[in-house]
Amino acid sequence: MVELPRSLLKLLRFYVGGLLIVALVTQVPAPTAAQVAQTASASIAWEQPTVRVKELARIDAVRDNQLSGLGLVIGLNGTGDGRGAQANVQMVANMLERFGITVSAHDLRLRNVAAVMVTATLPAFAREGDVIDVTVSSFGDARSLQGGFLLQTPLTAANGDVYAVAQGPVSIGGLNVRSGGARVQENHPVVGRVANGAIVERSVPINLAEGGTLTWVLREPDFATAARVADAINALTGEEVARAVDQSAITVRVPEAMRSDPIPFIARVEEIAIQPDATAKIVINERTGTVVLGHDVRIATVAVAHGGISVRVEPKVEVSQPPPFSNGQTVITRSAQVTVTESPGRLMVLETGASVHDLVEALNSVGATPRDVVAILQAIKSAGALYGVLEVM
């Protein structure tokens, strides 16, 4: 803790009813370039993790594809779509017509059937015959999909081609029971899952090393990380084959000897370990009071006063009793008793270059709650003393 002049302390206590942030101007010797480089090197060595390229980036041509389809869930115990939903009725009529049975949709009354949207993700390199999970979601007024069975549903991609077919029992992981006007519901009963419910009918062709070039795309774009990945690949091959195109893409020229079989080269590149860089960031979720602070966040010299006032209003009842054998009446008087309590405001001072560890220790020392930390960080940012990106969710 740094002692402050008594006049400044009086000024701070005058405003300590809420939260006060004061930026201090102090004469601190400027660090030399060698000290800055030594501090940055120590920070990277102690706090930056070593991560493989496999966890940092993906190959540009390797990606997942979304599939969707419209289907029917049957076998529901009276919890399907009501009379107001016409989609399932028309779908059942169409299905019966394919089986050679012609029934008017207006004559059908179905409570054991629900119209659903079936969605799935087709992973890269999925082959014919592989199975994938599907999600089943009711879009009518069905109360529950519990115990239902998904009929065979084609799943199409954005281009309209069928890539998988789904069918199987629906698992919702919950329940919805009604009886005698009472209702018990657990989890979300109108969205379910069919484990291994879709069979892949068509694979998506992927051309690796087309033109003798591979492109790795960073999951978290950053210029410094892209440059480090390119340098590490060049060091592995012993020649200039990798180049960072921008903050997210690194193009790599596959060596001539490996172009016919690039898989071993890809495996070697993905095993390279580097230290990624990242933007100094603080993420705040005000709804839950969650605060996540990056280790690169730095704070200028700043004083933080934390305190609060609590007001409590409670009713007070007074009874006035007349003397014995008198004609008076008992009188009841109600009034409000107001109590104001002010917690002692405590002052903490963070010096220039304070890290997240120093900030957390200082905030814990004054007993700040997560929501107090949110307000303190926002006030420090407004004071211009926080060097980092403040992201509020």
300/382 same-domain check: yes
DSSP state of 83: T
Contact between 299 and 47 under an 8 Å Cβ cutoff? The reply is: no
Q: Across residues 27-56, what is the average pLDDT? A: 57
Q: Is the model more confident about 392 or about 48? A: 392
291/367 same-domain check: yes
For 286, the token pair is 């005000």
Whether 18 maps to a domain, the answer reads yes
Q: Domain boundary residue among 166, 200, 234?
A: 200
Q: According to the model, what pLDDT value does residue 209 have?
A: 76
Confidence of residue 353 (pLDDT cuts 50, 70, 90): low
Q: Is the model more confident about 278 or about 252? A: 252
70/178 same-domain check: yes
Q: According to the model, what pLDDT value does residue 17 have?
A: 35
User: To the nearest whole percent, how much of the chain has pLDDT over 90?
Assistant: 31
Q: Which range marks the domain in which residue 161 is found?
A: 65-74+116-200
Whether 84 maps to a domain, the answer reads no
Q: Domain boundary residue among 200, 215, 239?
A: 200
- For the chain, the domain total comes to 3
Whether 380 maps to a domain, the answer reads yes
214/262 same-domain check: yes
Whether 361 maps to a domain, the answer reads yes
Above 90 in pLDDT, residue 290? no
Above 50 in pLDDT, residue 109? yes
305/377 same-domain check: yes
249/159 same-domain check: no
Whether 321 maps to a domain, the answer reads no
Confidence of residue 356 (pLDDT cuts 50, 70, 90): low
**Helix residue ranges, H only, 254-300:** 263-270
Q: According to the model, what pLDDT value does residue 15 have?
A: 36
Confidence of residue 337 (pLDDT cuts 50, 70, 90): low
250/296 same-domain check: no
Which range (118-122, 178-182, 289-293) has the least confidence?
178-182
Whether 81 maps to a domain, the answer reads no
Q: Is 300 exposed, middle or buried (0-12, 13-18, 19+ CB in 10 A)?
A: buried
Whether 152 maps to a domain, the answer reads yes
150/230 same-domain check: no
Whether 286 maps to a domain, the answer reads yes
Nearest to 369 by CA among 19, 13, 11, 5: 19
Which range (111-115, 127-131, 243-247, 305-309) has the least confidence?
305-309
216/268 same-domain check: yes
Q: Domain boundary residue among 231, 247, 274?
A: 274
177/216 same-domain check: no
Give the Cα separation of 50 and 229 in Å (integer): 12
290/229 same-domain check: no
247/352 same-domain check: no
Q: According to the model, what pLDDT value does residue 182 have?
A: 60
Give the Cα separation of 193 and 119 in Å (integer): 10
Supply the pTM of this predicted model. 0.65
Which range (79-83, 216-220, 269-273) has the least confidence?
79-83
- Non-local (6+) Cβ contacts of 216 within 8 A are 53, 57, 58, 59, 60, 229, 249, 250, 252, 269
